[in-house]
Structure 1
Amino acid sequence: MLKKFFVSAAVAATAVAGLALGAGTASAATFVPAGVYPSSAACADAGNAGFPQGRWVGWYCEGVTGGQYLLWVQPTY
């Protein structure tokens, strides 16, 4: 339960920081979580895989606890 709280707090803080930094461009708040991967390379591979399919227009990987990486994507709307 405590872990869920900290993960939620981290996601909220990331979204708020993204709003402040993304003014005038595509807001970082439009990024949504798309999966957790065991390495940065696996996360990057998954992020790059969505471009040819037109599934998203941007992505980034965020390091999380346990050496895992969370993929954030900016979907096409």
Structure 2
Amino acid sequence: MIRKTLVSLGLAAGVAGGVLATAGSASAASFVPGGVYPSVQACSDAGNAGFPRGRWVGFYCQSLGYGQYELWVQPTY
């Protein structure tokens, strides 16, 4: 009984340690989702609108299919 409990606790600690070890921290190179748009032009316009405001330093638009595009931005940290 005690052995099973210790094995379970060890396994849980190992999983938790593995999650912490592989969790990356946010960096300036990370892109985050910024919205979904009905066309590549609308996505690009939204991406370009963030530059003068200093909201991000880079962006790209990813096709989601069915004419929708997701804006991914590289925020300033």
Rounded to whole Å, the distance in 1 between the matches of 2:35 and 2:64 is: 12
If the length of structure 2 is used for normalisation, what is the TM-score? 0.62
Q: How many residues align?
A: 50
Unpaired stretches in structure 1, ≥5 consecutive residues: 1-25
What is the deviation of 1:60? 0.3
CA-based RMSD of the aligned residues comes to 1.0
More helix by share: 1
If the length of structure 1 is used for normalisation, what is the TM-score? 0.62
Rounded to whole Å, the distance in 1 between the matches of 2:67 and 2:49 is: 22
Alignment of 1:1-77 (within 5 A): 27=29, 30-77=30-77
Unpaired stretches in structure 2, ≥5 consecutive residues: 1-27
Computing the radius of gyration from Cα coordinates, the structure with the larger value is 2
Rounded to whole Å, the distance in 2 between the matches of 1:62 and 1:32 is: 12
Runs of 4+, deviation exceeding 6 Å:
none
